Amino acid sequence: MVADYARSMKKVTNKNSKKNDVKSSKRPSYEQRKPAPKKKPVKKSPPKRIRKPQESAPKSGWLRPLISWGTTVALWGILIVGSILGYFAYSLPDVSGIDVIEKRPSIILETSTGARFATYGDLYGKMLKPNAIPEVMKEALLATEDSYFYSHFGINPFSLMRAMWRNYQAGRVVEGGSTITQQLAKNLFLTPERSIQRKIREVLLAFWLETKYSKDEILALYLNRMYFGSGTYGIDAAARKYFSKPAEKLSTVEAAMLAGVLKAPSRYAPTVNLKRSQQRSTVVLRRMQDVGYLTKSEADKFVRNPARLRHAGSGFKNVRYFSDWVVSEVQSFLGRTEEDLVVVTTLDLKMQKVAEQALEKQLSKNAKKYKVGQAALLALSPTGAVKAMVGGRSYSKSPFNRATDARRQPGSVFKTIVYAAGFEEGRSPDHIYLDGPININGWKPHNYTRRYSGAMTLRDAYAKSINTVAIKLSEDIGRQKVAAMAGKLGLSGNMPTHPSISLGTNEVTLLEMTSAYAVIANGGRSVLPYGVLEIRNSRGNVLFKRKGSGLGRLISGKTVNNMRDIMTTTMTKGTGRAANPGFAAAGKTGTTQDYRDAWFIGFTPNLVTGVWFGNDNGAPTKKVTGSNLPSYAWKDFMTAAEDEQKTLAFKPAQEEQDASQQSIWQRIVRTFSGDNSKKASNDNAFSVPEYPDNDTEKP
């Protein structure tokens, strides 16, 4: 029994020992767990070195908040940008009137043969459909303004960034990044102001245009609505304005010129500066070469032969003087109107060209030598139709019209009025007057030569422009008669009847004085100068048509023949010899005190022309007289203008007068000047200067 207990206890002990052995193998004793001094390197065991999960924990700690905050900021940014875009979208201008054109009424001026030479107001041509616009025009535009037009969605981010960088480098705006769509949006709906607000609206409108229209339609809208300078809007109007052809027939160089104008129409318009416009077109052609629309050889050829103006008004430096005058006539006929008008005028383009050349020839050769800065020329038919008008040396420098608006002393060309009055009072070219000293209450005028020739006929006195005889004739018939004749022949303004009236001391315009000579040229009938023949609206309805003008006969046929007699003698033997063209012509020179004004006015059976030289500030010239520069210019003009219409003799005017018209004029003269054939009393209420006639100086 004891033995059995002992065996059982041994088994238990053995069993417990095995358990303890197992436990001891899994959990070492304190002694075993106590690090031994020799095993200190064990501290760098792999489990302590490999702690990658613990090392990545701090990184995930800042990334998650960053992502969270970034998402929040992005959402707020989208909300804010959306709100801003929504505000600007809500405040966009009304785009419903994209097809409505608001413009000033236009006026187109033409010759009687239909040649267009000037336009006023806003001129629009036909609204061309996309397939009607020539490819060369599209290529020139795309190469210059937006070569990626067909690939972007309304804006070109790359172009914007490039423009911003180049502007930053230059320190100023040297390049724009707007696409054609943006430019169209700006020009149709927005103002040209430079601001962020306008740019945002421009972008939104560009998106709208891109969704509303096709690319070809946007391009057509652009070319039909953009401003091309000189009052022209749209490619068709520009082609007709500058090249006298429809847009469909534009050549490559013409398309390049028009595309170049778009950068700055007021600067690059060919009518403003043709050379500058041609230089700009060279840039366009080179861009077309770079893009691939032209080969180098083609571009080189076009650069050497740039486009030139082809319209009727091209090559005329000063036709605008006539145009401005005609527009004022149109307004007087129709008043204010909103209709587009076509005006048929009296202008003869050949004569206009010759007139400009005749004046410029004398000014370019003699301006410095004679110290003269300005000149004017006016040519009209004997019935008053203005054929040519040059109101100054350069319209672009001074649009003031010296032919119609400048009032200057006429000098001896006024003697024609004095002699006409004398002949109406019964004097004749063969009447004898004494060329000698004069003293009218202390006023002692003299001739230019300060010499006297004694007794002479009125014919010779007029031809030699003798002052004393003109004064004596005026005193003989009465100064009031002279003043009345001046008014009858169309001279306006105050006409004081002092003794110097016969020497041309009262100011007149070249238009008035030339029109007075036209009365003698046409046989004695009144002349109202005009430039308008017909006015039509855009639908072709005639609003005005000239049927006739004038008040009938003003002076007798006998007076007309006497005047032609003495004026022809002036051209052959007198002060007007330098103006003699070699065929039938009559005229008179005129020069004022200190050589301030020099005139020549004369006529042939077909044409009446007046020429003036002087300075705008009234400064004396260096001996410019009616016998030199004005006579030279008059002869050059008349010789070229008459050409095939030269006539060898004047047809005598009829002697009888129109009784009804004569009675009317007699009543008018009696009413305003009195029927007094006696010598007028001397009027010396003021000091009268001496006005010697300088016309006797040889050219």
How does DSSP assign 570-627, residue by residue?
A: HHHHSTTGGG--SSS-EEEEEE-GGG-EEEEEEE-SS-EEEEEEE-TT----SS--TT
Q: What per-residue confidence (pLDDT) applies to 208? A: 81
Q: Which of 480-484, 558-562, 657-661 has the lowest mean pLDDT?
A: 657-661
Q: What per-residue confidence (pLDDT) applies to 122? A: 81
Alpha-carbon distance 522 to 147, whole Å? 64
Q: Which of 141, 481, 153, 77 is nearest to 287 (CA)?
A: 141
> Residue 625: which residues within 8 A CB-CB, separation 6 or more?
589, 591, 595, 598, 694, 695, 697, 699
Q: Which of 68-82, 402-416, 576-590, 666-680 has the lowest mean pLDDT?
A: 666-680
Which one has a higher pLDDT value, 634 or 688? 634
Which DSSP letter does residue 652 get? Answer: P
The stretch 479-506 carries a mean pLDDT of 90
Residue 34 in this model has a pLDDT that exceeds 90:
no
Positions marked catalytic: 145, 412
SS (H, E, C) 524-568: CECCCCECEEEEEECCCCEEEECCCCCCCECCCHHHHHHHHHHHH
Work out the number of other CB atoms within 10 angstroms of the CB of residue 597: 28
Is the pTM higher than 0.85? The answer reads no
288: tokens are 């077309």
**Boundaries of every domain in the chain:** 133-304, 407-532+550-672
| Paired residues of 376 in beta bridges | 612
Whole-number mean pLDDT of the chain? 81
Residue 289 in this model has a pLDDT that exceeds 90:
yes
Give the chain's radius of gyration (CA, Å): 46
User: How would residue 638 be classed by pLDDT, with cut points 50, 70 and 90?
Assistant: very high
Q: What per-residue confidence (pLDDT) applies to 50? A: 46
| Paired residues of 440 in beta bridges | 443
Q: What per-residue confidence (pLDDT) applies to 680? A: 34
Q: What per-residue confidence (pLDDT) applies to 331? A: 81
What distances in angstroms separate CA 436 from CA 427, 451, 684, one per listed residue? 20, 8, 21
The stretch 196-219 carries a mean pLDDT of 79
The stretch 398-402 carries a mean pLDDT of 95
407-532+550-672: same fold as 133-304? no
Q: Which of 274, 222, 197 is nearest to 243 (CA)?
A: 274
Residue 658 in this model has a pLDDT that exceeds 90:
no
Q: What per-residue confidence (pLDDT) applies to 153? A: 77
Alpha-carbon distance 410 to 432, whole Å? 25
Number of H helices, E strands in the chain: 24, 14
Residue 46 in this model has a pLDDT that exceeds 70:
no
Which one has a higher pLDDT value, 139 or 662? 139
Contacts 24+ apart (CB under 8 A), 256-260: 256/140, 256/281, 256/284, 256/285, 256/288, 256/302, 256/307, 257/281, 257/284, 257/306, 257/307, 258/137, 258/140, 258/228, 259/137, 259/140, 259/141, 259/143, 259/144, 259/145, 259/284, 260/144, 260/284
What's the CATH architecture for 133-304? Answer: Orthogonal Bundle (1.10)
Q: Are 512 and 407 in contact (CB under 8 A)?
A: no
Residue 579 in this model has a pLDDT that exceeds 60:
yes
The stretch 545-559 carries a mean pLDDT of 86
- Ranked by mean pLDDT, which of 189-203, 219-233, 673-687 comes out on top? 219-233
Residue 692 in this model has a pLDDT that exceeds 90:
no
The stretch 461-475 carries a mean pLDDT of 96
Q: Which of 50-54, 106-110, 202-206 has the lowest mean pLDDT?
A: 50-54
Alpha-carbon distance 418 to 441, whole Å? 21
Residue 450 in this model has a pLDDT that exceeds 90:
no
Alpha-carbon distance 379 to 610, whole Å? 7
Give the homologous superfamily in CATH for domain 407-532+550-672.
DD-peptidase/beta-lactamase superfamily (3.40.710.10)
DSSP E strands in 89-206: the ranges are 107-110, 116-120, 123-124
Task: Tell me, rounded to whole angstroms, the distance of Cα 69 from its chain centroid.
Answer: 62
Which one has a higher pLDDT value, 17 or 249? 249
Q: Are 261 and 279 in contact (CB under 8 A)?
A: no
Phi, psi for residue 280 in degrees, rounded to 5: -65, -35
